[in-house]
Every structure is written in C-alpha cells, then in structure tokens.
Amino acid sequence: MKQKVNYNNEIKNSQDQKFYTKRATVQALEAILYEPIKVLDHGFIRVIDYMGDDSAIVQSARVSYGKGTKMLNQDKGLINYLMRHYHTTPFEMCEIKLHIKLPIFIARQWIRHRTANVNEYSARYSILDKEFYLPDPKNIEIQSQSNKQGREGTLDSNQSKRVLDILREDALRCYDNYMDLLNLDEETGEIKDTNKEGIARELARMNLTLNYYTQWYWKIDLNNLLHFLRLRADSHAQYEIREYSNKILDIVSKWVPYTYDAFINYRKESVNLSKTGVEIIKKMIQGHSVSEENSSMSKREWNEFNKLFLK
C-alpha cells in the first residue's frame, strides 16, 4: 500500500531539540509539545508553538515590566475582571499554533472562523492518504425537526450498519477512482500504466468524498480562540467539531489556567439575558408571578428562559 507519512521521527526530533529562552514558557504545555492528541478515528491535534501565558495577559493589561504584581490572587482577579467586562485586547497578546488533522467536511465548517492564520495540506501538490472518517454508530442520528442544521435521535443497529456500509463503500470506491485518475498503483504509489497519462492532481481530488482527512497548521490568538471555543465546544455544535474543540479546551487549561477558569465561568457556562429577561428576574425576586403571556417575550425566547430558570 502507498506509504503514509510517518510523523514519529519528526515528533522525536522536534522534542529532542533544546533551546535557551528568556521568554515565558508553560511546563504543562511543554510536556505535550508536538505530541499528537487523538481525535475521532484518524484525526489529531498537536501543539507546535505558543507565545505568552497568563502573566503575559496581566502584563499587557497593566503595560508593565516583567511578570506584573507576582501576587497570584491579584493576577487571577485581573484576568477575571478582563473576561467579565469583555476587555479582549490583553488576551490577543497570547498565540498558539496547532497542527490539526481533520475530516474535510469539518475543515470547511471550521474555516468559517476567519480570525486565524491557516496553511492546509495541498492535494494539488501531494496525494491524499487513504484515510476517511466513519462515525461511531451511536453518533449516527436522524435530522432534527426543530433545528435545520442539527440532528437528534439514534437509528437502530440495522439502519446504522447500512449507513456505515454506504459511507465506507462510497469512500473506498472514490479513492480507487482517485488513484485510477492519477494513474497510480494504490499499493506502491508508482505509475500504474506507462502507456497512459494520469490527470492533474488538482482535478483528481474532486472525486474524493468529504469524509477524507486533510491537515493544516492553524495559528490563532487567545481571544479569537476563546470565541471559537465558546461556539464550537457548545452542546449545540456538531459532534465532530465539538470533539476537536473539547481537546483544544483541555490544551487551553494547561496553557493559561487562570484564563481557562475565567472563560468557563464568564463565557462557556454563563448565559446572556436581554433587558426583558433581567426585568423578569427582578419581578421573580420580588415575588411576582411571571408567565409566557405577561413576559413580553417571543415563544422561542420564553422557552429558552423557562429552560434556564424555571425548570
């Protein structure tokens, strides 16, 4: 079979390098630098590089020298204040670069977040590996009736097996045709028939299904990363991108633990209330009875409010 790229030597060589630096480093992140963190069936995330830590956020907020106050409670309190009041620019002083391997259909959803620097594996230049994503049967669900871009309710085992068979057969057939269009032998990666020409790689790639894996380097500042995670690590996000987001969230907890705690408290696990919602909360505290009819809310907003505070 065509040889897959083996990152083991690259990872070991990268980890064996030693550099002297005066810049801030984070030991918990250094410990996992370059290591692939498994996601889905063939995907991974690797931390390639980073700049800054919690103290860099504090330092930029105070525009001070060194590590600021060196009093941990004050630094943590300032980060909480910045997060709570949406003072975002100090968080932009930290950056991280990740190597990510992910299914193409997730990459196309991911790239909608346009606040990162991205360099993707080029299928115009190289041949894609024969690796495609197949969901776990428990994650094969039917179309949601209430959410046009969501899913809900699992299929029975026979239906799930049929779906997986279709996905697998289509992916394998498309890859066979992909190699045929390139005029390459799938086992060796060498030219298959010397009497014919393969078409250009940039054209042959059109034939592959969206569950094939691609890779990219993705560099982003911490403020925009947290915005990404607030949306994609949410329970309403698609399962597959949520799996990647949860792994990145764990990386953030190692990298900037104070910021991570503030993000969980003031963003991820918090709620936003409208002016009407605040007025209803005040009425409830004062002992007044509130219902959908006298709430001045739409049915959808009332249902969301009811789910959060009244059930």
Q: Which residues form the catalytic set?
A: 232
Q: Does residue 175 contact residue 208 with C-beta atoms inside 8 Å?
A: yes
Distance CA 103, CA 1 (A): 21
Q: Is 267 annotated as a binding residue?
A: no
- At residue 45, the 3 state secondary structure works out as strand
The token duo for 59 is 């330092």
Q: Is 308 annotated as a binding residue?
A: no
Distance CA 75, CA 158 (A): 56
Q: Is 227 annotated as a binding residue?
A: yes
Distance CA 306, CA 311 (A): 6
Distance CA 82, CA 223 (A): 11
Q: Is 110 annotated as a binding residue?
A: yes
Q: Is 112 annotated as a binding residue?
A: yes
Distance CA 223, CA 8 (A): 32
Q: Is 114 annotated as a binding residue?
A: yes
Q: Is 123 annotated as a binding residue?
A: yes
Distance CA 203, CA 186 (A): 18
Question: What's 145's DSSP letter?
Answer: S
Distance CA 123, CA 95 (A): 28
Q: Is 221 annotated as a binding residue?
A: yes
Q: Is 124 annotated as a binding residue?
A: yes
Residue among 224, 302, 257 at smallest CA distance from 29: 257
Q: Is 109 annotated as a binding residue?
A: yes
Q: Is 302 annotated as a binding residue?
A: no
Question: What's 12's DSSP letter?
Answer: H
Q: Is 205 annotated as a binding residue?
A: yes
Q: Which residues are annotated as a binding site for dUMP?
A: 109-112, 120-124, 205, 232
List residues forming the annotated binding site: 89, 109-114, 120-124, 205, 221-223, 227, 232
The binding site for FAD consists of: 89, 112-114, 120, 221-223, 227
